[in-house]
Structure 1
């Protein structure tokens, strides 16, 4: 029966890769099929309806709330001009020096990446940052990649990601935080190397190629003005509270939202802006929330006793226990997290993580290392991820071009994360 379940999972991957089914829909159908193959009854204990659907759907509720708060803060950064001001100040400081401008945009992207991910973060940093970089001679592919590499630097401190990994793997937040802090230096060094090396590649596009977006940016600046200097620390507030003072994730994010409101909004406009940006945040957060509902359902299915019993011998037969082999194997198969592949933690990879933890083949910390390391690759180089598609299209290149240029750098990040995983947990 374990072989049949694996074949069904492979069919689910194929459906997602070929875009026959949306990822969330495919995961729910896959969960139902796994539950039936595992012999789960319709109702009652360890059942399809009560356990997989009823209990699985809200299993990641804390993550959904964290994602919503992150999206809300992202809308505030956009509407209040905080993000635009940060990028403008960096660009003005860099002048006509391509490397300095790109490094500055990288830094702002990293700061925004700690608040929210996906296309929202790419837009906040890229709407001004990409035209500014290309205007001083940074190649278009490099400009798009700089935004993505910067976001990846911030991801180890993105609080919704902490909450997601904590819930999926049933780990305390301090454990997740500890590993993510260790992963951060690899992401930072890779991003700096990308900017320094890739900005030296000169293309044929020059300042006039994106003059229109730049003009729009200048017009918007005159309309909004710069955000107050004390409001510019907004993206750092949740991280300082969660990392420095070990305050829970949701209160930390709420503190950032309130600071952005209080420091940029007149009292009589507070209520209107609060509701407008909150509703806008719902629109941004809706797709990932739907995905997290599906992931919760899939996790409930793969953790059923019948599923674990069927898959445990098969998984044990193909997973290495030697730390060196662990690093070699999982580094070589890193590209399987691309194109919504089976190692994508925000897809079937969450189910595989659930299998590894439920069967006890690896310590839960090792599964955390796998998931976090692969997430660094997916978030930058996957041509199907929303932030990669937006950044590439806005820069005027294809997502595949961005993948080819960025993949060597984030692959090294994954290798570093896997080495830390093996040394710490195996």
Structure 2
């Protein structure tokens, strides 16, 4: 039975990789097939397809869905209130015509956006102005796209919806998830800074729209700069830090921390008479941005319900126990070599079949939930930056005028280092 379940998962990987079936639908089909093979009844209060997998599984990640929605809402507010664009403009002005300084500044802004709302919304917030600005001062196109993505990678360890996702998926407390995410941050930051310093040395072409000097730009914007450019007030620029500080320092729960960020964004940029209008308008935009990941989380919840069925656990236990390394050195070597399997929606992508594998590892007990957390969050650092099929990578590459595969080739060595660092820390702490 275990081999049949593995075969079902392999077929699912093929469907996802070839694009024959959207990821969420493929995960739904896999969950259904795994549950039936594992002996789940159609009806019943326990261990049934309709109740355990579909009904209970669909709401397993409900708290994550709410966190994603709030993060998307805050992201839409950062765009609508010009907080994100102001951060980018001020960074570019500070950097002047120094490519490395401009790129490092955009890297920081991208990290702030990535911590609020990951993936494509963060790339848009930082990249719409940041990518042309970097290319304008001579940063190569691939490096400009990669800088936005590497910045998102820095922010991912502090992305609150991501904390909630791993907390629910692996049945860990937020405190436990946070404790490992903090370990990932220095690796992500070091790799990102190294990327900018090394890759910015490649020659970039200066575009026509960049020929005006920074002094000319400052002269143009001198009078009533904020009114004409629509810059947000200086004190509102701290908004992206509000949820992070509340959750990280004051241990405020994730959803209230995100709500606090939303309120700060509105109160510091909007007239009282427009509060309700702006909140509703940005919320609707947030729903649009959150629709795709929420759909995916519904399917992931069903898959988790299926692989945690007693029949599935019993069938997979001997196979997983026989092939997974328990020696710390082998753990590091094997899973470091397998890093590419999280790319192209592969089997170790936590927002795909990787969620089922993580759930199976935890259910079988071959690793502690914290060891699985360390492994999957390390892989997610690679997927979130370099995967040519992820929305943020495709957008950043196309907006920069290069292919996603070029971005993959340039960023992969750096994020592989991040994953290796996370896997080593996981082995030292949890094996």
**TM-score between both structures, scaled by the size of structure 1:** 0.97
Shift of 1:224: 4.8
Within 5 Å, which residues of 2 pair with 1:238-317? 238-317=243-322
The aligned residue for residue 176 of structure 1 is 177
Within 5 Å, which residues of 2 pair with 1:300-339? 300-339=305-344
Secondary structure in structure 1 of the residue aligned to 2:388:
coil
The aligned residue for residue 131 of structure 1 is 132
The aligned residue for residue 26 of structure 1 is 26
Secondary structure in structure 2 of the residue aligned to 1:161:
helix
The superposition leaves residues 13-58 of structure 1 with CA deviations (integer Å, 9 ceiling, x where unpaired) of 0000000000000000000000001111111110101100010001
Secondary structure in structure 2 of the residue aligned to 1:56:
helix
Determine whether 1:208 maps to 2:208: yes
Gaps of at least 5 residues in structure 2 are 215-219
> Cα gap change, 1:386/1:221 in structure 2, threshold over 3 Å: closer, same or farther?
farther
The superposition leaves residues 307-357 of structure 1 with CA deviations (integer Å, 9 ceiling, x where unpaired) of 000111011111001000000000001000000000000000000000000
> Cα gap change, 1:284/1:210 in structure 2, threshold over 3 Å: closer, same or farther?
farther
Secondary structure in structure 2 of the residue aligned to 1:397:
coil
- Mapped to 1, the partners of 2:426 and 2:64 lie a distance apart of 24
The aligned residue for residue 5 of structure 1 is 5
- Mapped to 2, the partners of 1:344 and 1:210 lie a distance apart of 39
- Mapped to 2, the partners of 1:361 and 1:347 lie a distance apart of 21
The aligned residue for residue 82 of structure 2 is 81
Shift of 1:167: 0.3
> Cα gap change, 1:209/1:394 in structure 2, threshold over 3 Å: closer, same or farther?
farther
- Mapped to 2, the partners of 1:221 and 1:337 lie a distance apart of 44
RMSD (CA atoms): 1.6
The aligned residue for residue 115 of structure 2 is 114
Shift of 1:418: 0.3
- Mapped to 1, the partners of 2:95 and 2:157 lie a distance apart of 26
- Mapped to 2, the partners of 1:317 and 1:209 lie a distance apart of 60
- Mapped to 2, the partners of 1:244 and 1:268 lie a distance apart of 33
The aligned residue for residue 391 of structure 2 is 386
Secondary structure in structure 2 of the residue aligned to 1:192:
helix
- Mapped to 2, the partners of 1:245 and 1:222 lie a distance apart of 36
- Mapped to 1, the partners of 2:359 and 2:111 lie a distance apart of 29
The aligned residue for residue 198 of structure 2 is 197
The aligned residue for residue 103 of structure 2 is 102
Determine whether 1:41 maps to 2:46: no
- Mapped to 2, the partners of 1:120 and 1:210 lie a distance apart of 25
The aligned residue for residue 353 of structure 1 is 358
- Mapped to 1, the partners of 2:163 and 2:66 lie a distance apart of 13
- Mapped to 1, the partners of 2:64 and 2:55 lie a distance apart of 17
Gaps of at least 5 residues in structure 1 are none
Secondary structure in structure 2 of the residue aligned to 1:20:
coil
Secondary structure in structure 1 of the residue aligned to 2:366:
coil
Shift of 1:210: 7.4
The aligned residue for residue 233 of structure 1 is 238
**TM-score between both structures, scaled by the size of structure 2:** 0.96
The superposition leaves residues 44-90 of structure 1 with CA deviations (integer Å, 9 ceiling, x where unpaired) of 11010110001000110000000000000000000000000000111
- Mapped to 2, the partners of 1:321 and 1:114 lie a distance apart of 33
- After the TM superposition, which segments of 4 or more aligned residues of structure 1 sit over 4 Å from their partners? 218-224
Residues 81 and 224, structure 1, Cα contact 8 Å, conserved in 2 = no
- Mapped to 1, the partners of 2:306 and 2:26 lie a distance apart of 13
- Mapped to 2, the partners of 1:259 and 1:168 lie a distance apart of 30
Question: Aligned pairs, how many?
Answer: 421
- Mapped to 1, the partners of 2:317 and 2:161 lie a distance apart of 30
- Mapped to 1, the partners of 2:231 and 2:51 lie a distance apart of 53
- Mapped to 2, the partners of 1:387 and 1:120 lie a distance apart of 8
Determine whether 1:368 maps to 2:373: yes
Shift of 1:223: 4.9
Shift of 1:207: 2.5
Shift of 1:226: 1.1
Shift of 1:206: 1.4
Paired residue for 2:407, among 399, 402, 409? 402
- Mapped to 2, the partners of 1:267 and 1:280 lie a distance apart of 21
- Mapped to 1, the partners of 2:210 and 2:74 lie a distance apart of 28
